Structure 1
Amino acid sequence: MKHTLETYKGSCLCKEISFEVHGFEQHIAHCHCSMCRKFHGSAYGTLAKVHELTWLSGKELLKEYVAPNGTTRTFCSHCGSSIGFRSKGCSLSEIELALALFDEDIPVQIDAHIFTDYKSNWDEITSALPQYQEGRKLPD
């Protein structure tokens, strides 16, 4: 989706961290890489780049884990909720947020599965969405 005037709010499990955004990038995928699976405790992680992120509360509770490949996973130090992901060298303002954090319906549509070569053996992808064995290249 393109930038809108709508505001979408989200929070972690304990509600100590809260934020708002004003839109979402168009391309959103379910990521099956081992780090997303472990970080989210599920078959895949679904994160999105957002527009105009504002931390409303709890920014000081954000903690980070920098993986050996340089990517950063951000989580709530109080409840452990998975907050987001950043590519190597990206700042906190460039975080991709976990979609499950939003407290209301959001105008997004998942359009692919990525890093499917790393999916769990017990996970069967049954959707008709395109699948990419690794990441995918997006238009600039």
Structure 2
Amino acid sequence: MTEYKGSCLCGAVTFTIEGKFDSFYLCYCSYCQKDSGSAHAANLFSASAVLRWDSGADEVTTFNLPGSRHSKSFCKHCGSAVPGSELPGVLMVPAGSLDTEIEITPTARIYTARQHSWVGKLSAAPQYPELPEKSE
């Protein structure tokens, strides 16, 4: 069985996912933009994988947005997104929370009608393997 390890930024929460991911969506909806503080969220979904909290399960809290199906689980110390679900019977795992490399590539980009205008210009931005010495 495939196994993935993950954690939060401060290390208080660690977890293992056993099983496979069914899909991998980059979501540009306004909720995911607010959740991530970025252009999109990158979330993996599975109807069959099992989540095991290795440490810090009691350090996880979930915010459910009233009037929607949107929710976000996160470490209450550092705020890092951790696995949760906004749909019954479906495990949602923030791709950036995994410490193990994944094989699956994004299935689709969704809610692109709501993406910021600068997203389409990202390919023109310079790339650096690390933080550059000065801003460009």
Q: Among all aligned residue pairs of Structure 1 and Structure 2, give the percentage whose two residues are the same amino acid.
A: 29
Cα-Cα RMSD: 2.1
Contact kept in structure 1, 2:2 and 2:20, CA below 8 Å: no
Which segment drifts farther, 73-82 or 45-54? 45-54
Q: 1:55 to 1:125 in 2, by over 3 A?
A: farther
What is the Cα deviation at residue 85 of structure 1? 5.1
Partner of 2:82: 83
Contact kept in structure 2, 1:32 and 1:116, CA below 8 Å: yes
Partner of 2:23: 27
TM-score, reference length from structure 1: 0.76
Q: 1:125 to 1:25 in 2, by over 3 A?
A: farther
> Computing the radius of gyration over CA atoms, which structure comes out larger, 1 or 2?
2
Partner of 2:92: 96
Task: Report the number of matched residues.
Answer: 120
Gaps of 5+ in 1: 128-140
**Residue 71 of structure 2 corresponds to residue 72 of structure 1:** yes
Higher strand share: 2
Task: Find runs of 4+ consecutive structure 1 residues off by over 3 angstroms.
Answer: none
**Residue 107 of structure 2 corresponds to residue 111 of structure 1:** yes
Gaps of 5+ in 2: 124-136
What is the Cα deviation at residue 27 of structure 1? 2.0
Contact kept in structure 2, 1:12 and 1:101, CA below 8 Å: yes
Partner of 1:131: none
What is the Cα deviation at residue 95 of structure 1? 3.3
**Residue 54 of structure 2 corresponds to residue 56 of structure 1:** yes
Higher helix share: 2
Q: What is the DSSP-based 3-state SS (H/G/I as helix, E as strand, rest coil) of the residue aligned with 2:117?
A: coil
What is the Cα deviation at residue 44 of structure 1? 0.7
